[in-house]
């Protein structure tokens, strides 16, 4: 599978958000990864639908919206209406994962489920056919710039076994040019990268290095 790179806007310069979005797109970003945090599910707060809508107005690639929020079912309509192309919910935040995944798909949006580092793959065992993508967290969600948790590699391999060869597996957290090939080698095909792209002086070179 082709390796896709999804720069995480969380590490961008928020004072120059539009410029930063255009710059990563010109540098070869395949998706824009947008981290939505509510201060409850994770110990940080970021931005909501208004900012996603503003980013949409300058986006030329799909918006990959990662919901790190409690009660995500309450906000699906809001993020759909401002132009999310992929909506990812956390299995740990959903009482009725099957219902919410199908609600997202019924709106014509790709639906994904994410697993925190301590969450077993078995938690999505009966959802493999329903989701379009699985997001394996390789850090505890909440902040950019954290260190990759190596156990994620085994988890990626078992998610690949579960979902088969055609579905997308995304990995998020601590991805660097040093570990990217191990992550794709384990079976992932979409790499989220915050600090490793936005702290680079040359975004295009950074994205190319991650693609391998």
Judge contact between 103 and 76, C-beta under 8 A.
Answer: yes
Q: Which helix (H) or strand (E) holds 170?
A: strand 168-172
46 CA to centre of own chain: 15
The CB-nearest residue to ligand DX5 is 194
User: Is 77 one of the catalytic residues?
Assistant: no
**183 token code pair:** 């992550």
User: Is 172 one of the catalytic residues?
Assistant: yes
What gap in Å lies between CA 123 and CA 177, rounded to an integer? Answer: 30
Q: Please, which residues have CB within 8 angstroms of residue 172's CB and are 6 or more apart in sequence?
A: 8, 33, 66, 114, 135, 136, 137, 138, 139, 141, 192
174 binds, among Zn ion, ligand DX5, none (CB under 5 to 8 A by kind): ligand DX5
If binding is defined by CB under 6 A, does position 62 make contact with ligand DX5?
A: no
Minimum CB–partner distance for residue 106 and ligand DX5 (Å): 25
Of 88-96, 124-132, 135-143, 152-160, the segment contacting ligand DX5 by CB under 6 A is 135-143
Minimum CB–partner distance for residue 90 and ligand DX5 (Å): 10
Of the candidates 35, 38, 132, 168, the residue annotated as catalytic is 35
Minimum CB–partner distance for residue 66 and Zn ion (Å): 4
Structure-token match 């191990």, residue found: 182
Which residues sit in the known binding site for a divalent metal cation?
33, 35, 66, 172
Catalytic annotation, residues: 35, 172
Which residues sit in the known binding site?
8, 33, 35, 66, 142-145, 172-174, 194-195
């Amino acid at each position: 599978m082709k390796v896709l790179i999804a720069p995480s806007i969380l590490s961008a310069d928020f004072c120059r958000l539009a410029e930063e979005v255009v710059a990563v797109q010109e540098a070869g970003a395949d998706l824009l990864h947008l981290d939505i945090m509510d201060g409850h599910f994770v110990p940080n707060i970021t931005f909501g639908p208004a900012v996603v809508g503003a980013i949409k107005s300058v986006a030329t690639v799909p918006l990959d919206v990662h919901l790190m929020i409690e009660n995500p079912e309450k906000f699906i309509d809001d993020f759909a209406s401002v132009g999310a192309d992929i909506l990812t919910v956390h299995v740990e935040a959903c009482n009725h994962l099957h219902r919410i995944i199908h609600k997202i798909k019924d709106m014509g949006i790709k639906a994904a489920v994410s697993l925190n580092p301590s969450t077993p793959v078995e938690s999505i065992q009966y959802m493999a056919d329903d989701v379009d993508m699985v997001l394996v967290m390789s850090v505890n969600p909440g902040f950019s710039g954290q260190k990759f948790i190596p156990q994620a590699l085994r988890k990626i391999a078992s998610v690949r076994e579960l979902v088969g060869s055609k579905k997308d597996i995304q990995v998020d957290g601590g991805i660097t040019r040093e570990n990217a090939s191990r992550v794709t080698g384990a079976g992932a095909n979409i790499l989220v990268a915050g600090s490793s792209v936005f702290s680079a002086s040359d975004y295009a070179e950074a994205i190319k290095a991650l693609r391998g």
